[in-house]
Amino acid sequence: MLVVEGLTCRFGTKAAVDNASFSIAPGSFVGVIGRSGAGKSTLLRMINRLADPTSGRILFEGTDVTALRGKELRRWRARSAMIFQQFNLVGRLDVLTNVLMGRLAQIPSWRSLAQVWPEQDRALALSALEQFDIAQLAAQRADQLSGGQQQRVAIARALVQEPDIILADEPIASLDPRNTKIVMDALLRINKHFGITVLCNLHSLDLARTYCDRLVGMAAGRVVFDGAPAALTDHIARELYDLEANDVIGAAPLPAPDGATAPALGTAAAA
Amino acid sequence: MSQMPRPDTTELRAKYPGVFERPASARLAMPAMIAAALAIFVFGLVDLDFSPSRLIAGLGQLGWITMLMLPPNPGSSFPLYMQALGETLSIAVLGTTLAAVLALPVSLLAARNIIPSNLIRFPVRRFLDSIRGVDTLIWALVWINVVGLGPFAGVLAIMVSDFGAFGKLFSEAIEAADRKQVEGIRASGGNALHEIRFGLLPQVLPVIAGQVLYFIESNTRSATIIGIVGAGGIGLQLAEQIRVLEWQKVSFLILMILIAVAAIDFISSKLRFAIIGQRAVV
């Protein structure tokens, strides 16, 4: 259970996130929606502690995440895996090493710094890549991959962190429609098969309605909606998105997700 | 032919006075600066005793020296000169490599994205600046007095002066690195060393390698110069032969230096392309 209590983040006088409170049950797929600049990104970054809250607390299974320091903080970052809009892979490293970055918190530092990865971790990384059909790219440099492939590598990196929760910050904003579906389906599979909670920032309301079983709507840093996708009426959505409403509502219909019916996956990465 | 309607000049004048009535200072600034630059130039010529007549008188001497230089001839000293050239190349390569190895960790301390605190960064930067402010030649004179004549002093001279230059160049390369890649490592649970090792170094190493190669090339020339003041290598031989007026040997030594520099230039540009070119091919 992830609990967010009165979380606030100020940059100068402007509050990027203003007194946000909600709790998320394990195993759910929650979408955070709202217009650009509503504070969605800052919210996710605070949960992973890439950004520090000005006030408020984040509790995970009773532990105050906001108070963690040093090794404990690194452990938490591994448990709350981030997926970024720009993938944030290291372009000049090969794909396998990029995935192995997800093991840093578990492996003794001398081993990782000398690149003496335990065989088991290599196998884990490779099987994660296999699940997204990109194991054959393992030896390629990450910056030679297409955007969709890079994002799948990033998801594999998140998966080998063996996280309890995945925080996806606009994971499909830099992708074309076909890769959008591949990446969203991958997130859905992780959620359904491994029971990993997914908290996903989305700009597109249609995607959010299609994939998420709960939506948190943000406007000007505040949580203004929290409920099932069905409860989000057009009226509320229009308020949420204001002038952008027509861009995000009623666009071309999206293909139905097939994550729930996807073939059973290898379980190595879930171990 | 179209014609724009003539605007009302008085109204525009009142609205934008700065455009129509530029102050005298603005109008005279450019001519004044040109006049000042000319005056300084002329003063310099007079003060430094620049006299064309002496140059013309000396031209005959220059021609005479050139005649004496032909044909270039090492006499029986060729093996000695080859050894000296090898010494010069080793001074350049060793000095530059040591400088790069020492400068890399220090440059991290001088980079804003690694050390946000001014408290550490500022003194490190000023330290690098002051080392860089002293030329290689001066460092050579200093080290010759400390460790004696010879190539060791040359290596130390190049190491110290390039340490300052590398520290600055590396820290700038580090500051230009993409933050997102480092953030990806941090978000996965990496510590500060991981962020540097996996997030930063893959990005900056190609840049650094290119800079080191260029410095090896330019230090081959510097090593010749510091050889003249006694830091070993081919420069020492050159100074010696000029002193005893053995012009044929001098011209031979100059030819050797030219060929060596050209060879280093060729090799390093090939290597640089092999390292950086990878990126361009993608």
- Among the three residues B27, B44, B67, which one is the final residue of a domain in this structure? B67
Q: How far apart are CA A74 and CA B186, in angstroms?
A: 8
Alpha helices of chain A — where are they, by DSSP H?
40-47, 70-79, 95-100, 109-113, 119-131, 147-160, 177-194, 205-211, 234-241, 245-248
- Among the three residues B27, B51, B67, which one is the final residue of a domain in this structure? B67
Instruction: Enter the DSSP assignment of B198.
Output: I
pLDDT band at A159 (very low <50, low <70, confident <90, very high): very high
Structural domain includes residue A4: no
* pLDDT at position A160: 92
- Among the three residues B67, B86, B111, which one is the final residue of a domain in this structure? B67
pLDDT band at A246 (very low <50, low <70, confident <90, very high): low
B272 and B141, same structural domain? yes
What are the chain A neighbours of B197 within 8 Å (beta carbons)? 113
Instruction: Enter the DSSP assignment of A36.
Output: T
Which two tokens mark A203?
């700009």
B145 and B32, same structural domain? no
Asked if the C-beta of A146 comes within 8 angstroms of chain B's C-beta atoms, the answer is no
- The percent of residues above 90 in pLDDT, for chain B, comes to 25
Question: Between residues B22 and B161, which one has the greater pLDDT?
Answer: B161
CA distance B124 to chain A (A): 26
Structural domain includes residue A270: no
Q: What is the mean pLDDT of residues A235-256?
A: 66
Asked if the C-beta of A111 comes within 8 angstroms of chain B's C-beta atoms, the answer is no
Rg of chain B over all Cα atoms, to the nearest angstrom: 28
Structural domain includes residue B186: yes
Alpha helices of B229-246 — where are they, by DSSP H?
234-243
The CATH number of the domain holding residue A77 is: 3.40.50.300
* pLDDT at position A236: 83
Structural domain includes residue A266: no
Positive or negative, the Cα torsion across A126, A131, A135, A141? Answer: negative
Give the pLDDT confidence of A40-66 residue by residue, as tens digits.
Answer: 999 999 999 999 899 999 999 888 988
* Cα-based distances in Å from A17 to A23, A43, A51, A54, A168: 16, 7, 11, 9, 17
pLDDT tops 80 at residue A201: yes
B115 and B13, same structural domain? no
Write down the ipTM of this complex: 0.83
Among A104, A111, A170, the strongest candidate for a mutation testing the B interface, having the largest count of B CBs within 10 A, is A104
B254 and B224, same structural domain? yes
The gap between the terminal CA atoms of chain B, to the nearest Å, is: 52
Structural domain includes residue B4: no
Given an 8 Å threshold on Cβ–Cβ distance, is A109 in contact with B193? yes
User: Which B residues in the span 140-199 are in contact with A, Cβ-Cβ below 8 Å?
Assistant: 178, 180-181, 183-191, 193-194, 197-199
* pLDDT at position B107: 92
Q: Indicate the average pLDDT of chain A.
A: 86
pLDDT tops 70 at residue B276: no
pLDDT tops 90 at residue B59: no
Question: Between residues B220 and A157, which one has the greater pLDDT?
Answer: A157
Q: Which of A154, A148, A147, A125 is nearest to A138 (CA)?
A: A125
pLDDT band at A258 (very low <50, low <70, confident <90, very high): low
pLDDT band at A212 (very low <50, low <70, confident <90, very high): very high
Given an 8 Å threshold on Cβ–Cβ distance, is B191 in contact with A109? yes
Range of the domain at A83: 25-38+73-258
Range of the domain at B40: 9-67
B225 and B272, same structural domain? yes
| Residue B201: closest C-alpha in chain A | A92
B21 and B155, same structural domain? no
- The percent of residues above 70 in pLDDT, for chain B, comes to 97
Structural domain includes residue A207: yes
B81 and B61, same structural domain? no
If 0-12 CB within 10 Å is exposed, 13-18 middle and 19+ buried, where does residue A41 land?
buried
Q: How many folded domains does chain A comprise?
A: 1
Give the pLDDT confidence of B111-139 residue by residue, as tens digits.
Answer: 888 888 888 889 999 999 998 888 888 88
Question: Between residues A158 and A251, which one has the greater pLDDT?
Answer: A158
- Provide the 10 A C-beta neighbour count for residue B95: 28
* pLDDT at position A271: 38
B115 and B228, same structural domain? yes
Q: Strand A214-219 to strand A29-33: parallel, antiparallel, or no bridges (unpaired)?
A: parallel
Q: How many folded domains does chain B comprise?
A: 2
pLDDT band at A244 (very low <50, low <70, confident <90, very high): low
- C-beta of residue A186 within 8 angstroms of C-beta of residue A125: no
Asked if the C-beta of A153 comes within 8 angstroms of chain B's C-beta atoms, the answer is no
* pLDDT at position B65: 82
- C-beta of residue B250 within 8 angstroms of C-beta of residue B238: yes
The CATH number of the domain holding residue B165 is: 1.10.3720.10
* Cα-based distances in Å from B268 to B92, B136, B215, B216, B261: 13, 22, 10, 8, 10
- The percent of residues above 90 in pLDDT, for chain A, comes to 41
